[in-house]
Amino acid sequence: MTLKIGVIGTGAIGQDHIRRITNVLSGGEIVAVTDVNQEQAKQVVEVEKLNAKVYEDGHALIQSEDVDALIVTSWGPTHEEFVLAAIKAGKPVFCEKPLATTAEGCKKIVDAEMAYGKPLVQVGYMRRYDKGYQALKNALDHQKIGEPLMVHCAHRNPTVPDTYIGDMAITDTLVHEIDVLRWLLNDDYASVQIVTPRTSSLAKNGLKDPIMVLLETNKGIRIDVEVFVNCQFGYDIQCQVVGETGTANLPEPSSIIMRSEAKLSTEILVDWKDRFIESYDIELQDWINSTKKGIVSGPTAWDGYVVAVVSDACVEARNSKGIVSIATGDIPEFYKGNLSIVGEV
Ligand SMILES: NC(=O)C1=CN([C@@H]2O[C@H](COP(=O)(O)OP(=O)(O)OC[C@H]3O[C@@H](n4cnc5c(N)ncnc54)[C@H](O)[C@@H]3O)[C@@H](O)[C@H]2O)C=CC1
Ligand SMILES: O=C1[C@@H](O)[C@H](O)[C@@H](O)[C@H](O)[C@H]1O
């Protein structure tokens, strides 16, 4: 059976997911699309040669009998509304990060899903599907460097668009580390502090860029994450775990090593689409397969909620310039069987 999928939001990642489902993956077909920019949605149908109907809005698409499952790739602040509507319609939904822009919004989704009685929601935290992060997790789970003590991370974007404003360094960018590190370490966060170095003269729109995020986990592991979204030189993701008997680093994406013109060089990727291309493919294929089986095997609404609680605390820490405690609460029974299945390597 082919999973008939409707996509809400045909911007950058919406188009990317449409392309991979149409040309790379198996078992799914895009039968419906919508975007507030209707012209763009029509163009995507044309360019990708989709046999898909363009709906006037997300709600009409969700209600359509032609659609089995949904992908939400519209702007972050619209996710909550569409995910709640999908749950009400009893349809599985893959929602790009963030699940909602506030913990309160995510909690409404968690409550609605539990009231529905069956998991329907997967959140697009694709780093859990990255082979590099999976290898790192494997090393930690098998005690290859002893107990983890510290983690040093960097999340660098070359530049960001003018729509990237306010707290997005936290709510749009840092959220990837918040999700993947709790999965990697099998731990949750206890507190956060944010320190701001001198701001880059190349940062636009009043952004304080870079920032340094200092997290502490319940087990006492200390994490520092540099978020620098105008670093100019490339899309650069770093993660080093320091354990009791060694260190383990996230591998660099593979690239040829050149000796030329008296220089030894390797390329650095510049686009997030390329850095995690394989992870997105694996993630969406897993979602299609799991949805057909009627299960959620990737990051759940609970994971999306926890990330939002931590992200809210980070925003508070930045504003107050102090150390903010984090209490994510106990995972409900409902979500226990669904956690971290993609982590088993
Ligand atoms: N997992 C990942 O690595 C990535 C995730 N994302 C997430 O995906 C989402 C979309 O990001 P981009 O594609 O980069 O943004 P984008 O701005 O390129 O595309 C978003 C699209 O949603 C449409 N849209 C906005 N409100 C809508 C509504 N109410 N109904 C229908 N369409 C609506 C816009 O017109 C636009 O075409 C964001 O939440 C972002 O955080 C984006 C990039 C990478
Ligand atoms: O999710 C993503 C974007 O939305 C976000 O704006 C970037 O900072 C991240 O690196 C990218 O992975």
Ligand 1 centroid, distance to 289 Cα (angstroms): 24
Is a pLDDT exceeding 50 seen at residue 337?
Answer: yes
Ligand 1 centroid, distance to 329 Cα (angstroms): 30
Q: Measured between alpha carbons, how far apart are the two ends of the chain, in Å?
A: 28
Q: Whose CA is nearest to atom 31 of ligand 1?
A: 35
For the packed helices 175-185 and 301-320, what is the interaxial angle rounded to 10 degrees?
120
**Interval 16-33 mean pLDDT:** 98
Ligand whose nearest atom lies closest to the CA of 129 = 1
Ligand 1 binding pocket mutation candidate from 8, 35, 175 (most atoms within 8 A of CB): 35
HEC per residue, 242-284: EECCCEEECCCCCCCEEEECCEEEECCCCCHHHHCHHHHHHHH
The band of 342, judged by pLDDT with boundaries at 50, 70 and 90, is: very low
Provide the 3-class DSSP secondary structure of residue 166: coil
**Interval 296-308 mean pLDDT:** 98
Q: How many angstroms separate the CA atoms of 213 and 208, rounded?
A: 13
Is a pLDDT exceeding 90 seen at residue 209?
Answer: yes
The band of 345, judged by pLDDT with boundaries at 50, 70 and 90, is: very low
Q: Whose CA is nearest to atom 22 of ligand 1?
A: 74
Ligand 2 centroid, distance to 176 Cα (angstroms): 8
Ligand 2 centroid, distance to 262 Cα (angstroms): 35
With CA atoms as reference, report the closest residue to 298 among 282, 311, 310, 309. Answer: 282
- Strands 189-195 and 211-217, how do they pair? antiparallel
What's residue 338's pLDDT? 54
Q: Summarize pLDDT for 85-96 with one digit per residue, the tens.
A: 999 999 999 999
Q: Summarize pLDDT for 133-161 with one digit per residue, the tens.
A: 999 999 999 999 999 999 999 999 999 99
Q: Which domains does the chain have, with CATH numbers?
A: 3-127+278-301+330-343 (3.40.50.720), 131-269+307-325 (3.30.360.10)
Ligand whose nearest atom lies closest to the CA of 270 = 2
Percent of the chain with pLDDT over 90: 97
What's residue 344's pLDDT? 37
Q: Are 326 and 192 in contact (CB under 8 A)?
A: yes
ipTM of this predicted structure = 0.99
Q: Summarize pLDDT for 65-89 with one digit per residue, the tens.
A: 999 999 999 999 999 999 999 999 9
* Nearest ligand 2 atom to alpha carbon 235: 10
Q: How many angstroms separate the CA atoms of 192 and 223, rounded?
A: 9
Is a pLDDT exceeding 60 seen at residue 26?
Answer: yes
Q: How many angstroms separate the CA atoms of 211 and 194, rounded?
A: 7
Ligand whose nearest atom lies closest to the CA of 164 = 2
Ligand 2 binding pocket mutation candidate from 75, 164, 176 (most atoms within 8 A of CB): 176
Q: Are 129 and 286 in contact (CB under 8 A)?
A: yes
